Amino acid sequence: MKGPGLLYTLFKYLLVRPVCVLAFRPWVEGAENIPETGGVILAGNHLSAGDTYLLPAMITRPMTFPAKAELFHMKGWGRVLGWFLKGVGQVPMDRSGGRASADGLRPIYKVLTDGGVVGIFPEGTRSRDGRLYRGRTGVARLALNAGVPVVPVGFSNTQFIRGPFGIPLMRRPGITIGTPLDFSEHFGSTEGSVYREVTDAVMLAIQELTGQEYVPVYSNSARAQIPSAEPEPT
């Protein structure tokens, strides 16, 4: 597998990690549970936009989070964002549904089969009320078709609060990393019931790490009814 790009390494160790450590003072538990080599999925709950850079900053192995495909095809100054995302090893994912979304998983499969680390939020979107919602089966499709383990990750206190001068800050965020889940008995399966069984097992493992209340519905079905109290960074 190719190593991380130069841009990824520079941003991680010269900018993102130092800022996270100094500004947020995060703690990490169970980092040794991430396999040192080979493809693996890190599947976590999703409380904040900051989850996507806090986890890569605080673990040793380089990792990839799928990003909305639209971000890679913007015009004008938006092209700079697309260039940046590619430079730091992120891959586009089509979320329009159907065949396009299935095809959009191919770059993510490539990362896994090349022995890389992929981050996934099975809920599909961040939780606005701190509860854990039903997981979508994409995590199971990736794990079973790529033949890789899933490591559950629990985030806590990663919601942004307004700090001095309105700067978004986290207050002692935490990352708990569980032991790898082995679904090898189901590798290669395309059964919807198996995808659901595996996804539910992943969500249970995440809940055991976080202690969150579990809500057996998809997050976006309840999201419109819950106002956001978190200031998003701009």
In a domain, 228, yes or no: no
Task: Work out how many domains the chain is built from and give that number.
Answer: 1
pTM of the model: 0.86
Q: How far is CA 40 from CA 21, 59, 98, 160, 215, in A?
A: 25, 13, 25, 28, 26
Mean pLDDT of the chain: 85
193/74: higher pLDDT: 193
Contact of 182 with 151, CB cutoff 8 Å: no
Rounded average pLDDT over 163-184: 92
Does residue 2 have a pLDDT over 80?
no
What pLDDT digit, counting tens, does each position of 99-114 carry? 545 566 788 898 999 9
In a domain, 229, yes or no: no
**What pLDDT, on a 0 to 100 scale, did the predictor assign at position 229?**
45
**Exposure string (b/e) for 3-20, b if CB count within 10 Å is 16 or more?**
ebeeebeebbeeebbeeb
**What pLDDT, on a 0 to 100 scale, did the predictor assign at position 231?**
46
Distance CA 87, CA 95 (A): 22
Which residue, 54, 46, 174, 61, is CA-closest to 117?
61
In a domain, 148, yes or no: yes
**What pLDDT, on a 0 to 100 scale, did the predictor assign at position 78?**
60
In a domain, 58, yes or no: yes
DSSP structure string for 51-106: HHHHHHHHSSS-EE-EEEGGGGS--TTHHHHHHHHHHTT-EEE--S-HHHHHHHTH
In a domain, 26, yes or no: yes
In a domain, 233, yes or no: no
In a domain, 231, yes or no: no
* CATH of residue 190: 3.40.1130.10
Would you put residue 214 in left (φ > 0), alpha (ψ -120 to 50) or beta?
beta
The half-sphere exposure of 32 on its side-chain side, counting CA atoms within 13 A, is: 0
In a domain, 230, yes or no: no
What pLDDT digit, counting tens, does each position of 18-76 carry? 989 999 999 999 999 999 999 999 999 999 988 988 999 999 999 988 876 666 776 77
Contact of 71 with 86, CB cutoff 8 Å: no
The whole domain housing 12 covers: 6-223
